[in-house]
């Protein structure tokens, strides 16, 4: 049996779900859309999806099994709770809400009405992330102690609502939520301290980027950075372990690994002239001292996002994206805002 899904918010991401992610899905069919904007209703018509005249009409339609929320972030909570009350399953775009408290209310409603609520943390399936997670899990560079995860763009903050606080705009909520979610999936340890700074170089009321340093109880330190004013990009991932360093430059998986050799033919580096000085510390290691390798094949989740949604609805599987995990990320975002606001390192037990 196929489940019937209606998309609420037929903008950039809503239409991407319909026309790309769910296009050939055999278990879920998109039967309609609801958007408050006439132009987006017309676009839905052109794309061949029935348009509903009101959200209530979607809720009242017994044929609807799943509602996908793909509106700006400020209305996710009210739309989600109304859908759960109407006994619909709900898939919600990230960031799930603006504040963690709102997610707690949604989680209560999902339990009360016994319906699925799952957040589309799609970047858990990104190849660059899965490759770095494999390197981490298999100790390919020894025990990892430093993680740098970045995305750099040069186009400023996109769209209209992403510039505004009341809609949940800003890059920490928009892109930060992806990178922080990936980090917490990778590192299985409590967070003990957080430092952060937000960037406002474009003059918006919300951040156009940020840097945060997160320290875990197991000693790992992570630098997470999002920038929208970077005309030269730094690598997507730079990770150091006790035996080497791993680099992934981009989403196309350009990158490599360098590990150190500890064999008998190990050669100490020779001093080099660097700038106006002499250095052995910063001299490149000799060829015999290191091995350069390709990035390893990565381990994939066994199911795709929507496959897992169906399996959870049918009570065959646990959710791959758990609401408690999403809640932890939302709480971390609040600590990051606090650290940046106070310009202090915040001690925590998250």
Which residues lie near ligand NAD (CB under 6 A)?
8-14, 34-37, 40, 70-73, 75, 93-94, 120, 122, 159, 161, 174
The CB-of-27 to ligand NAD minimum distance in angstroms stands at 20
Q: Which is nearer to ligand NAD, 56 or 300 (CB)?
A: 56
The CB-of-121 to ligand NAD minimum distance in angstroms stands at 8
The CB-of-93 to ligand NAD minimum distance in angstroms stands at 4
253: left (phi over 0), alpha (psi -120 to 50) or beta: left
Q: What is the helix (H) or strand (E) element at residue 104, kind and residue range?
A: helix 100-113
The CB-of-36 to ligand NAD minimum distance in angstroms stands at 5
The CB-of-78 to ligand NAD minimum distance in angstroms stands at 8
Q: Write out the two tokens for 27.
A: 């278990």
Distance CA 15, CA 7 (A): 8
Q: Give one DSSP letter per residue of 19-32, joined into a string.
A: IIITTT-SSEEEEE
The CB-of-341 to ligand NAD minimum distance in angstroms stands at 23
Q: Which is nearer to ligand NAD, 89 or 135 (CB)?
A: 89
Q: Which is nearer to ligand NAD, 220 or 332 (CB)?
A: 332
Q: Give one DSSP letter per residue of 7-57, joined into a string.
A: EE--SHHHHHIIIIITTT-SSEEEEEEE-S-HHHHHHHHHHT-EE-SSHHH
Q: Which is nearer to ligand NAD, 41 or 115 (CB)?
A: 41
The CB-of-167 to ligand NAD minimum distance in angstroms stands at 9
The CB-of-13 to ligand NAD minimum distance in angstroms stands at 3
Residue nearest to ligand NAD (CB): 11
Strand blocks (E) in 159-236:
191-199, 209-216, 221-227
Q: Which is nearer to ligand NAD, 105 or 243 (CB)?
A: 105
3-state secondary structure of 91: strand
Distance CA 145, CA 246 (A): 12
Taken as a whole, the chain contains a residue count of 350
Q: Which is nearer to ligand NAD, 80 or 312 (CB)?
A: 80
Q: Which is nearer to ligand NAD, 44 or 212 (CB)?
A: 44
Strand blocks (E) in 200-319:
209-216, 221-227, 237-241, 244-248, 255-260, 272-274, 277-279, 290-293
3-state secondary structure of 344: coil
Say how many C-beta atoms besides its own lie within 10 A of residue 56's C-beta.
Answer: 12
Distance CA 81, CA 301 (A): 29
Q: Which is nearer to ligand NAD, 76 or 133 (CB)?
A: 76
């Amino acid at each position: 049996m196929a489940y019937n899904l209606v998309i609420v918010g037929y903008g950039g991401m809503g239409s991407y779900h319909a026309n790309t992610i769910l296009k050939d899905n055999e278990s879920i069919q998109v039967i309609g859309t609801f958007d408050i904007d006439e132009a987006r209703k017309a676009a839905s018509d052109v794309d061949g999806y029935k348009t509903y005249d009101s959200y209530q009409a979607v809720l009242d339609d017994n044929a609807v099994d799943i509602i996908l929320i793909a509106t700006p972030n400020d209305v996710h909570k009210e739309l989600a709770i109304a859908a759960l009350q109407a006994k619909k399953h709900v898939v919600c775009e990230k960031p799930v809400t603006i504040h963690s408290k709102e997610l707690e209310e949604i989680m209560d409603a999902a339990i009360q009405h016994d319906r699925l609520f799952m957040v589309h943390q799609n970047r858990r399936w990104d190849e660059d992330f899965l490759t770095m997670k494999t390197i981490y899990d298999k100790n390919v560079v020894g025990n990892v102690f430093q993680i740098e995860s970045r995305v750099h763009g040069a186009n400023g903050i996109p769209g209209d609502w992403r510039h505004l606080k009341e809609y949940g705009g800003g890059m920490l909520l928009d892109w930060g939520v992806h990178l922080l979610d990936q980090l917490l999936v990778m590192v299985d340890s409590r967070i003990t301290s957080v430092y952060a700074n937000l960037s406002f170089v474009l003059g918006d009321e919300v951040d156009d980027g940020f840097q945060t340093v997160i320290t875990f109880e197991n000693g790992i330190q992570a630098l997470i950075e999002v920038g929208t004013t970077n005309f030269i990009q730094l690598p997507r991932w730079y990770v150091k372990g006790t035996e080497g360093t791993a680099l992934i430059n981009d989403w196309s998986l350009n990158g490599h690994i360098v590990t150190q050799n500890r064999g008998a033919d190990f050669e100490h580096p020779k001093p080099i002239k660097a700038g106006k000085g002499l250095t052995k510390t910063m001299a490149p290691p000799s060829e015999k001292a290191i091995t350069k390798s390709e990035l390893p094949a990565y381990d994939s989740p066994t199911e795709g996002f929507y496959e897992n949604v169906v399996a959870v609805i049918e009570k065959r599987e646990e959710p791959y994206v758990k609401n408690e995990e999403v809640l932890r990320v939302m709480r971390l975002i609040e600590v990051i805002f606090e650290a940046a606001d106070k310009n202090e390192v915040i001690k925590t037990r998250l």
